[in-house]
Structures are given as structure tokens and as C-alpha cells.
Amino acid sequence: MGIYKAEAVVLRSRVYGEADRILSLFTKEWGKIAAIAKGVRKPTSRLRGAVQLFSHTHLVLYKGKNLDTVTQGETDEDFSFLQDDLDRLATASYCAELVERLTLENQPIPKLFRLLLAALRTLRWGDPVLVARVFEMQLLPILGYRPRLDDCVVCGRKRILGPDSQETGPSWFSIEKGGVICPDCVPGTHGARTVSPAALGAMAYFLRTPLDRAVRVKLTGGCNAEIASLLRSFLAYHGEVKPRTWEFFDDLHNTT
């Protein structure tokens, strides 16, 4: 392929050698790629601003055998405000880690690229906890893990979500089967867990609403914790990931 261009978000950056950095990039055109930015740690480097962590940038790269090389770059959005707020920085790190760990090299997913950018942009003003929840929910269908929330995954019986719902008690959800379970099917379903109508309603709303609008919803602390626990189990089972940032989130919010 030789020289090529890419619109990218910097997912991860680590020091390499005396002046270089190894980058994990998620690009709109080529998916996830690994690249080296040579000499970028030198104060005089023209690439310095274009490859900062989480930057939305336009790059020119040269295809290499193991690592591609960034030769030119121009920053579109730098998201430097994240460095001033630990909660927002943690959420950005979590979203980036999910993208990095749940995608394959050279597999373009433009919809996921747009979702990641939407999350980073919304972190300027949105509640970082809600940004994380909505990002998790909207990530799932893009990667083929969409949970079934409006009918039983065993028998197909429909359920009503939203303002017309008559449900007042808890429902059941199967992580293994990937969706809600009706009362009749619960006895034969191993590992079904209860989930409140409020949590299911919020999850359904997150799935159908653009991220920058979905984060305006008001959730109680208990409802957010319930959704977070369910999605953590869902991602661990179906995505086979346990992001390192989970522990960071737990430590951060247990001490603040």
C-alpha cells in the first residue's frame, strides 16, 4: 500500500526508545492500526500535537512490515480538556480501551469511529458516568452483541418498554442468552438475574437515541449501578474483555 492517509483517534500511546512513541490508532478508513511516530518526543517535532492521546487527527503514514510510520499529521480536535478532569479522563480511557480490545487490526468500522468521537465530544459537558453507560450500550450492536430487550430470548414473547409499560416489578435478564427472559421461561434458564423496569427502560432508550441526547437522561445512582453491573457482565461474557479501567473506575468512585 505504501503511503496512505487516515483520519484517526489516538487510543493509546507509549514511549519507545529515546524520542519515539508507539501508537494504537483507530481510523475511519482502515480500522485499528499500530504505528510509530519517530522523534515525536523532541520539542521541535512537527508531529507532537497531532499524536497526543485521544486526539482526532488526520495523518499520512507509510506502510511497514510490523509497524506503520506516521510521516505527517494535522490535529482536528485535541480534547486536551480531558487532562484537567480525572472522571472525564477515566471515561475517555475506558471508551478507548473498549475499542482497542474489541476490534481487530485493519477492520474498518466507520460507525464505531463516529461513536467514539461522539463520546469524546460529549465529555466536554456531559456526565462522564452517563457517557460511559451510553457508549457501552451503543457499542454492543455495532459489534454484533445487541441485547434483546423487547421480547423473551427463549420464547419470543413481546414485552412493552417505556411510558405505556404496565410492569411494576423486576424482570429477568440472561447474560448467557443475551436478553430478557419472561417469567414463564425463568425456571428453565440457568443464571437469569433480576433487573428493574427502570434499568431496562433506560437501556432501551440508550440503544435508540443519539449519544449526545441520551446522556441528558436522569438516572438514580441505584439504576446506574444496576446497568453498569449488567453491562460489565455482558461485556465480559460476550466480548471476553475485562478492561483494566474497570478497577480504576472502582477505586476512583469508592474514594470520592
Question: What is the spatial distance between Cα 245 and Cα 197, in angstroms, rounded to a whole number?
Answer: 28
15 belongs to a structural domain: yes
CA–CA–CA angle 154, 206, 146 (5° rounding): 35
Q: Residue 62: which domain range?
A: 3-78
The total domain count for the chain is 1
CATH number at residue 20: 2.40.50.140
Does 69 reside within a domain? yes
The verdict on residue 41 lying in a domain is yes
105 contacts 200 by C-beta, under 8 angstroms? no
Q: Per-residue pLDDT averaged across 15-37, rounded?
A: 97
Q: For residue 219, is it within any domain?
A: no
Query: 120 and 9 in contact (C-beta within 8 Å)?
Result: yes
Q: How far apart are CA 203 and CA 227, in angstroms?
A: 8
Residue 46, SS3? Answer: coil
Closest by CA position to 62, among listed 107, 142, 3: 3
- The mean pLDDT of the chain is 91
Q: Given this model, what pLDDT does residue 169 score?
A: 61
Q: Is the pLDDT of residue 1 over 80?
A: no
Model confidence over 178-201: pLDDT tens digits? Answer: 999 988 899 888 889 999 999 999
pLDDT tens-digit map of 209-244: 999 999 999 999 999 999 999 999 999 999 999 888
Q: Distance (Å, rounded) from C-alpha 33 to C-alpha 107? A: 9
Using a pLDDT cut of 90, give the percent of the chain over it.
81
The neighbour count for residue 38, using CB atoms within 10 Å, is: 16
CA distance 219 to 18: 47
Integer Cα distance of 85 and 62 in angstroms: 35
Residue 14 lies in a domain: yes
Pairing of strands 56-62, 20-27: unpaired
Query: Do the Cβ atoms of 122 and 208 come closer than 8 Å?
Result: no
Is 218 inside any structural domain? no
User: Is 151 inside a domain boundary?
Assistant: no
Tens of pLDDT, residues 142-182: 999 999 998 999 999 876 444 444 555 678 999 999 999 98
